[in-house]
Amino acid sequence: MRDLYPLIRPLLFRLPAECAHDLALLALESGLVRALYGAAQPASPALAQRVFGLDFANPLGLAAGFDKDARAASAILRLGFGFVEVGTVTPRPQKGNPKPRLFRLEEDRALINRMGFNSKGLEPLLARLSRRRAQGIVGVNLGKNRESADAAADYEEGVRRAAAFADFLVVNISSPNTPGLRDLQRRAPLERLLSRLLEARRECPRRPPLLLKIAPDLLPEETIDLAKLAEECGIDGLVIGNTTVLRPPGLKSRNAREEGGLSGRPLFPRSTELLAEITRLTRGRLPLVAAGGVESGEDAWAKIRAGASLVELYTALVFEGPALVPRILEDLARLMRREGFTSLKEAVGSAAGRSARAAQ
């Protein structure tokens, strides 16, 4: 894949971050990115694996937040991703928080967002997915409307309506930008929520895997409770994790003082630490999807060895552009060969002294 992004990025970075994001999405949706870059070559077959009943051509996915309304899912997959997670989508349309609400931290290779689940709603997203003909795995990230008194009812509606069109579903209870949302991560409310959602899925003719997306800011006792509940309740996996409200020391950008969730390079240490801890607590019996600060093959490899079967990125794409995807996949295949693994499954959790995950 020829890399034109170094020429384009200075122009994009002159624009407000959300405007540049909208242009990038439009370029994908219209076919301009494909015309400029072409389709990515298939990744090494050694990177393929089966996770929660689905066959992934490679472990690298685009995290939720980029394509909130499923406008460009097929175009994103053609960049070389093994899967894409669209959303977060709310049952009914909502505008989200006032602008500006997305900020670049260029010196830190990070973003801060306080988008607030801006969404066109389930109806147009599911209509687009129903018309999709291209192959590839697409998950739907579900949220609640800000004014909803019954959060579980919103998530139930998302599960019931999206189950027919999504390859997997992700319940997002960890965004820092919707008041009170992270309170759902406490054991009692989370147990009630997951019970309702699993029952809703059982009533669907089609039953895609159901995952839970958690915050990287959990306290140790919260992490223990959540890992135990995730194993007991019967969900299919965890996404670790969302953005952080914490500000690691050493941030250089003046935008570091903005409110919202921080993503990108500064999040890598904490998100990887939490990933390894969840792997230890669940003894590798639950499939994990890792997100947070991935911007190289080495980063993705560290996540896999810490226990992730799948790895997502988003912020790094803002700084590196589409050619980052095949670079990471090439590096992953090289690292796997160098360390003597014949399949990716063998490498999952290997940093914790494990050779494979029984959950797969």
Q: Which residues are catalytic?
A: 175
Rounded CA separation 204/288 (Å): 24
283: CB partners within 8 A, 6+ apart: none
Q: Taking Cα atoms as reference points, which of 264, 331, 266 lies closest to residue 304?
A: 331
Distance CA 325, CA 81 (A): 7
**CA nearest 156: which of 211, 203, 196?**
196
Q: Which residues, 6 or more positions from 266, have their beta carbon under 8 angstroms from its beta carbon?
A: 108, 110, 248, 250, 251, 293
Beta-strand pair 110-113/261-264: antiparallel
- What distance, in Å, lies between the first and last C-alpha atoms of the chain? 32
Q: Encoding tokens for residue 245?
A: 């409200």
| CA 300 to chain CA centroid, nearest Å | 13
73, with CB counted inside 10 A (0-12, 13-18, 19+), is buried
Consecutive H or E run containing 87: strand 83-89
CB 282 within 8 A of CB 127: no
Nearest to 142 by CA among 196, 222, 99, 98: 196
Structure tokens at 317: 């794409």
3-state helix, strand, coil in the chain (%, to 5): 45, 15, 40
Task: Give the SS3 label for residue 99.
Answer: coil
Token pair, residue 3, equals: 């890399």
